[in-house]
Amino acid sequence: MNMNFKRKLPIPMEIKEQYPITYKLEQLKEKRDKEIKDIFESKDDRFILIIGPCSADNDDSVIDYISRLRTVQDKVEDKILIIPRIYTNKPRTTGDGYKGMLHQPDPHKGEDMLKGVVAIRNLHIRAMQETGFTCADEMLYPENYRYLNDVLSYVAIGARSVENQEHRLVSSGIAVPVGMKNPTGGDFGVLMNSITAAQSSHTFIYRNWEVVSKGNPYAHAVLRGHMNKRGQSIPNYHYEDLQIVNEMYHKAELKNPAVIIDTNHANSGKQYLEQVRISKEILHSKKHSQDIDKLVKGLMIESYIEDGCQPITGTIYGKSITDPCLGWEKTEKLIYDIAELL
């Protein structure tokens, strides 16, 4: 093969034994998982905010940011449930650029995936210990999910991965909500097929085992906009888009119909400040229709301590080194505004 087998990584069980979670953290995750599932089952009418940096690039600034979210969460807990984003795996369109903490625990140094596996597990555990949050991460590599399955309460499947067979089948064996993003081409039919696959039982190969999944009733749609053939961003968060998705859900007879709307990416054309306006427009759509109000369970917002982004060589604390994010002041105001509008 045209590759160098550098070293064999420890299996997830070995990493978990070396970096275990306490019984107290197990109980925290069980409680958080139930709260989140209750929202997707429409037993709890709180609004979900999956919010945080485009990529988790620095332990201290990520925990600083999430600690600020904790303070806000306590003030809006009757209306909003926050799931912080700690995205440690980053898909790259051309394969070039920062691929996340899994690849580079220190973005200023070379790739070291053994250190990366340890770093991402420790960061998620630290978030649980210091803030009381269990968080969301993107499943870029399905075989790596078990390094984190005991600490995550939400999993995202990216637009480039959602058509992949392995991502769909592994999602069907995950025990927490999985958000399936619409593909980069925007086809809602492909999106619904991915949800159908994730909600169904399958037999397949996973980490050298023949496994049988039970199906994930909490797999759902994440609308992030798409790109047309001219490379232009086309949003799909508008009222009419939501009506179409609602109709497709009912025709497909899927469990727990739900949509999370990504306010950045192609929905904003990566104009990150537009996330504020987009969030409020979605809330207006919810008020206009009972069906859409029931369907739209929350938002996905890219936010960090400082506005915008910087190169990977940048040294500004709490500023994204991937996609631009809302800074903290705008984020805090937006969360309070959302709570007021709900």
Give the 3-state DSSP-derived string for 124-141, with helices as H, strands as E and coil as C: HHHHHHHHCCCEEEECCC
Range of the domain at 257: 12-341
Strand, helix or coil for residue 223: strand
pLDDT tops 80 at residue 95: no
In a domain, 142, yes or no: yes
Look at residue 124 in the predicted model and tell me its pLDDT: 98
- Stretch among 78-87, 99-108, 128-137 having the lowest mean pLDDT: 99-108
Model confidence at 54, pLDDT cuts 50, 70, 90, reads: very high
User: Which tokens sit at 340?
Assistant: 């007021």
Look at residue 92 in the predicted model and tell me its pLDDT: 80
Q: Average model confidence (pLDDT) for the chain?
A: 96
CA-CA distance, 106 to 114, in Å (whole number)?
Answer: 13
In a domain, 3, yes or no: no
List the Cα angle 268/171/324 in 5-degree steps: 25
pLDDT tops 80 at residue 165: yes
CA-CA distance, 288 to 243, in Å (whole number)?
Answer: 12
User: What is the distance between the terminal CA atoms of the chain, rounded to a whole angstrom?
Assistant: 55
User: Which tokens sit at 16?
Assistant: 């978990």
Residues 258-286: pLDDT tens digits? 999 999 999 999 999 999 999 999 999 99
In a domain, 98, yes or no: yes
Bigger pLDDT: 181 vs 1: 181
The CATH number for 93's domain is 3.20.20.70
Could you tell me which of 157, 160, 199 has the C-alpha nearest to residue 179?
A: 157
In a domain, 219, yes or no: yes
Q: Indicate the pTM of the whole model.
A: 0.97
In a domain, 294, yes or no: yes
Taking residues 125-142, report their average pLDDT.
98
Q: Please, are residues 78 and 128 in contact by the beta-carbon 8 Å criterion?
A: no
Residues 219-265: pLDDT tens digits? 999 999 999 999 899 999 999 999 999 999 999 999 999 999 999 99
Question: How many structural domains is the chain composed of?
Answer: 1
Q: Which residues contact 67 (CB under 8 A, 6 or more apart)?
A: 130, 131
In a domain, 202, yes or no: yes
CA-CA distance, 15 to 10, in Å (whole number)?
Answer: 6
CA-CA distance, 69 to 36, in Å (whole number)?
Answer: 17
User: Which tokens sit at 319?
Assistant: 């500023």
Look at residue 37 in the predicted model and tell me its pLDDT: 98
Residues 145-159: pLDDT tens digits? 999 999 999 999 999
In a domain, 170, yes or no: yes
Percent of the chain with pLDDT over 90: 96
